[in-house]
Amino acid sequence: MEFVAVAGEAGRGSTFGHDFEWSKLNQLEGLASRVADQLAEAIIEGRLKSHTRLSEPEIARTFGVSRTPAREALYILERDELVERPPRKGARVASVTEKQALDVYVCRAYLYGLSARMCVPRLTKSDLAELSRIVHMMDLAVAGNDVRAYYSHNLAFHDHVGWTSGNEMLLKLMHGMGRLTLRFRYMSLTIPGRLDASLKAHHLLMSEFRRRDPDAAERRVREIVSSAGDAVLSHFFGNSSRPVRESCQVMTPYVAHADQESAIRVRALSPDVRQAVTSAKP
């Protein structure tokens, strides 16, 4: 396919041959994204199980598209770690590992905890009303044992907290954890008892938001996330040692206030490190 560059403003007047149309490229990309979104939803919700074979022709027929957007959709999901391509076996739904779960939940505990802390001084009456409304919807989802609805409302709740934090980089990091994180979040809610436990913790978090207590809000969110992670590791991988909670307890920095002077104290494995940090002036 011949490339012809026409003089003028960058990108203006360029063509990739007579048979190429940018609108067709955009249409293919849009189709691929829509197919990827629907496949991702099925994988996240467990309707497509690990190691389920994903055939391009079958995907194309199912979604009424050509094989090109079907193929691109699989590449998108492979980048998102929802699809894998073992040698000589073709594309299939990726399995999840204990290491992935631990890594995801430790990172989430810190990012989401920081998000809660930072949002507290910025919370308006309107924010509190919206968060209360979402928690009420979570109440209804639990009453109806509706995991899918609870999952959706839970995402909306923490997205609102993230936006309210006012830290765009933090929000990018939270969203940048990708669809693998969403898969684990949905998995956690399918564990018996987790819906009730999560709902109770979010009601307590709302109380801490109303009290304008950033320390308590951060601790609560880290507890919410670490409890969910440890439940996933125990239920799906047989690891009942509560490694997410342990990781958070070992590495969590916290600020203590005494005699009107702030001092940073860090729990650390090494007494030497603890001494060096606690003796430093902030």
Of 32, 46, 39, the residue nearest 83 (C-alpha): 39
| Beta-carbon count within 10 A of 194 CB | 19
How confident is the model over 134-169, as pLDDT tens digits?
A: 999 999 999 999 999 999 999 999 999 999 999 999
Q: What residues does 264 pair with on adjacent strands?
A: 255
pTM tops 0.85: no
Alpha-helical runs (H) found in 45-97: 56-63, 67-79
> So what's the pLDDT on residue 137?
98
Domains of the chain: 22-93 (1.10.10.10), 98-250 (1.20.120.530), 252-282 (no CATH)
Confidence band of 251 (pLDDT split at 50, 70, 90): low
pLDDT of residue 7: 34
Each residue's pLDDT tens digit, 201-227: 999 999 999 999 999 999 999 999 999
* Residue 27 and residue 69 in contact, taking contact as beta carbons nearer than 8 Å: no
- Measured between alpha carbons, how far is residue 241 from residues 230, 232, 244, 246, 263 in Å? 8, 12, 9, 8, 32
Segment 172-183 mean pLDDT: 95
Q: What is the pLDDT of residue 248?
A: 80
- For 43-67, the pLDDT digits (tens) are 999 999 999 999 999 999 999 999 9
* pLDDT of 89: 85
